[in-house]
Amino acid sequence: MLMRARSSAIAPEIGSIALQNIQKRYGAFTAVDQVSLSVAPGEFISLLGPSGSGKTTTLMMIAGFEFPTSGEVLVDGRDITHLPPHRRELGVIFQNYALFPHMTVAENVAYPLRMRRVGKAELETRVRRVLDQVHLGNLASRYPHQMSGGQQQRVAIARALVFDPPVLLLDEPLGALDRKLREHLRNEIKTLHTEVAKTMIYVTHDQDEALAMSDRVAVMHEGQIRQVSAPQDIYRRPADLFVASFVGEVNLIPVKLSSGDILGPEGQSLLAAHCPTTDGDATLCVRPENLHLEVAARETSSGIKGHVTGSTFVGDATIFELRTESGLQLTSKILNVTQPKTIPAVGDACVAKWQPQDATVLTK
């Protein structure tokens, strides 16, 4: 995974958000369940989760388009829970752009300033500046239908930035775009975040996007936040099985914890640096890139024994499938940079191994 410096050029002093036990019920159904989250000024935080996990509802309660059944929303310590959207001064960007079709790009972007009765000269200066920021200076007189999806989304971003809100809320803004463009705009938004030094809350179901863009990621499932951590920690130290499985690929190995031992499917002793001290059934998690295959291992070799059942060349890596003696299916990913001494072949007997620090045992 690429690491990048995450500090902003200018550290802003405003734009903190606090969600305090917010809950949203629709009849008997709880869409958002006791969510608490503190976001620092200038932070880029993602709400990451599958469809229906409550991301949009959470964001809309911050924006003011939905109101919580209980709990509070604070901006810079001020309770805004019951304020209408236009009195919150937060920039909002939706997946479907939501541009006015009968207005030019410049008119779309000027709209929030007109609503605020900003004078003509200042309005024109600010529209020009923000259009330059999103690289649309030369398209100011076009209409939305004359632009690509990526360009339209840039207009939406410009319109949200133009009145200089301390916080931008983005709901799957790249969801309608193809993969290459998504990756390109992802980088543009990240650069913009550094330039404008604003708090950004970014909703996505795309784990790569969340890991690549965020200072911190909040993983949501069934209306709850399951973990809030830096991307590296979400990936390396998932807090529960949902986070481990939703973010990245993972091998899940059923184990028994007994007086400090981790017992594998065939009763063998396994290693994991991160393990609870309680006894009982649990799951050992190890990522495919950390699962190594040892061909023709000695009888005494520790690990999990099995047979290679498949290998797939995917360019940068080869993915090996392993079937263990107890019938588990495991996946090992070996980068094609350096070839291991013995390349496993389909049918080979081998032992799957990992470094203790790369394994986490979870009980839920």
Ligand X SMILES: Nc1ncnc2c1ncn2[C@@H]1O[C@H](COP(=O)(O)OP(=O)(O)O)[C@@H](O)[C@H]1O
By the rule CB under 6 A, 52 interacts with ligand X: yes
Report, in Å, the least distance between residue 55 CB and Mg ion.
5
Among residues 42, 49, 238, 303, the one that binds ligand X under rule CB under 6 A: 49
Do 49 and 245 form a contact (C-beta atoms < 8 A)?
Answer: no
Do 330 and 322 form a contact (C-beta atoms < 8 A)?
Answer: yes
DSSP letter at 174 equals T
Among residues 56, 58, 152, 290, the one that binds Mg ion under rule CB under 5 A: 56
Q: Rank residues 49 and 112 by Cβ distance to ligand X and give the closer one.
A: 49
Hey, is 158 helix, strand or coil? helix
Region class of 151: left (phi > 0), else alpha (psi between -120 and 50), else beta: alpha
Distance CA 283, CA 241 (A): 8
Report, in Å, the least distance between residue 256 CB and Mg ion.
39
338 binds, among Mg ion, ligand X, none (CB under 5 to 8 A by kind): none
| Residue listed under structure tokens 């009765």 | 117
By the rule CB under 6 A, 95 interacts with ligand X: no
The residue count for binding ligand X (CB under 6 A) is 11
165 binds, among ligand X, Mg ion, none (CB under 5 to 8 A by kind): none
Q: Rank residues 66 and 215 by Cβ distance to ligand X and give the closer one.
A: 66
**Interface with ligand X by CB under 6 A: which range of 50-58, 74-82, 302-310, 353-361?**
50-58
Q: Rank residues 56 and 153 by Cβ distance to Mg ion and give the closer one.
A: 56
Among residues 8, 16, 46, 53, the one that binds ligand X under rule CB under 6 A: 53
Q: Rank residues 123 and 200 by Cβ distance to Mg ion and give the closer one.
A: 200
Q: Rank residues 48 and 75 by Cβ distance to Mg ion and give the closer one.
A: 48
- How many helices (H) and strands (E) would you count in the chain? 8, 20
Report, in Å, the least distance between residue 219 CB and ligand X.
11
Long-range Cβ pairs for the range 125-133 (8 Å, 24+): 126/162, 127/158, 127/162, 130/158, 130/161, 130/162, 131/105, 131/106, 131/158, 133/158, 133/161, 133/192, 133/195, 133/196
Distance CA 9, CA 175 (A): 28
54 binds, among ligand X, Mg ion, none (CB under 5 to 8 A by kind): ligand X
What count of Cα atoms within 13 Å lies in the side-chain half-sphere of residue 162? 31
Q: Rank residues 45 and 106 by Cβ distance to ligand X and give the closer one.
A: 45
By the rule CB under 6 A, 221 interacts with ligand X: no
By the rule CB under 5 A, 57 interacts with Mg ion: no
Report, in Å, the least distance between residue 302 CB and Mg ion.
45
By the rule CB under 6 A, 56 interacts with ligand X: yes
Closest by Cα among 18, 26, 128, 5 to 62: 18
Q: Which residue is nearest to Mg ion (CB)?
A: 56
Do 314 and 323 form a contact (C-beta atoms < 8 A)?
Answer: no
By the rule CB under 6 A, 7 interacts with ligand X: no
Report, in Å, the least distance between residue 115 CB and Mg ion.
26
What count of Cα atoms within 13 Å lies in the side-chain half-sphere of residue 11? 3
Report, in Å, the least distance between residue 166 CB and ligand X.
24
**Interface with ligand X by CB under 6 A: which range of 52-60, 68-76, 77-85, 147-155?**
52-60
Report, in Å, the least distance between residue 119 CB and Mg ion.
37
By the rule CB under 6 A, 26 interacts with ligand X: yes
* Three-state SS sequence of 331-355: EEEEECCCCCCCCCCCCCEEEEECC
Among residues 17, 19, 22, 31, the one that binds ligand X under rule CB under 6 A: 31
Amino acid letter, 132:
D
- Among positions 244-303, residues that touch Mg ion (CB under 5 A) are none
What count of Cα atoms within 13 Å lies in the side-chain half-sphere of residue 118? 18
Closest by Cα among 100, 93, 109, 79 to 17: 79
Q: Which residues bind Mg ion (CB under 5 A)?
A: 56
Q: Which residues bind ligand X (CB under 6 A)?
A: 26, 29, 31, 49, 51-57
